[in-house]
Structure 1
Amino acid sequence: MAAACLALTGCAEESKGTAPAPAPAPAAQTPAPIRAEPASPDAARPVEVLRVSARKVRGDAELTRMAGPALLARAADPVAIEVQTQEPLGSLERSSSPEIYLNGERVGDTWAVPPDRLFVFLPDTASFKDTTEVTVAWLGNEAQTRSTRPATLTRQMLP
């Protein structure tokens, strides 16, 4: 048995001398840099208004559908305020939405129609002043996204 141990030990020592060198460690991979896309919600910038108009809802199939039966049932002469933005609105698939503000007040839910149109529906024009300031901002981030150059909607522009 001692001979067997010597034989095994000798073999083990011989294999130590001929063992291949350990392979070098794999190179560490550098992760790709993370970049915020310009249209991402993180890249907040003002939504500038290109033009604003007011239209009667009744008689326009698209506006009637968007206004909905609840407004049409309670409003004698509903009106739609339409805003076209200078730049496309970008992705609307987020937890916020662009909203139309009249004289700094959010007046209702705004419909966004890609790429650059917004609509808000009102029961009538009675609350309008001679001149109404129209701005747009993303709900929840108004301070950074509110229009810096408001558009003007005058009483003469109302239907």
Structure 2
Amino acid sequence: MTAAQADLLIDRPAVADGAALWRIAKDSETLDLNSSYSYLLWCRDFAGTSAVARGADGSPIGFLTGYVRPEQPHTLLVWQVAVDAAHRGRGIAAALLESLAARLGAERGISWVETTITPDNAASERLFTSFAERHGATVSREVLFDSGLFPDGPHESEVLYRIGPLTF
């Protein structure tokens, strides 16, 4: 853990954080932006499987949204990870992933993490492969959603990364 991460408060998002999460996602210019309403709902219904990093004033500076797969109750699917531009490069995304995976490992017996990454997203690939390396876990990759499945214009294929088994 870096000094910057030691001062970081990571906890569960609250509904009041939804607008800030939407703004961080929007400003990232890389994430598929969901409606502001969906971020409010996410902070209400999936707060237990998500995490928010807070700055010194308590406001969100990064987030990770996820859920436990209903058919695979030991698998956390990470939906989105984003860090405010002013706070990037400090390891906040890695701290969010480590914190949430450890919490859900203890609370729910999570032993696998899944996410999808487009082939052009080198930052996400580094985040998740380095997470796997730190945990001595394997990473399998396969196309989950081919680009032709997306009805709203050009979209790269989404590659499923499955990481595990994990022990905490």
TM-score normalised to structure 1 length: 0.29
Larger radius of gyration: 1
Query: Which structure has the higher relative contact order (CA within 8 Å, separation 6+)?
Result: 1
TM-score normalised to structure 2 length: 0.28
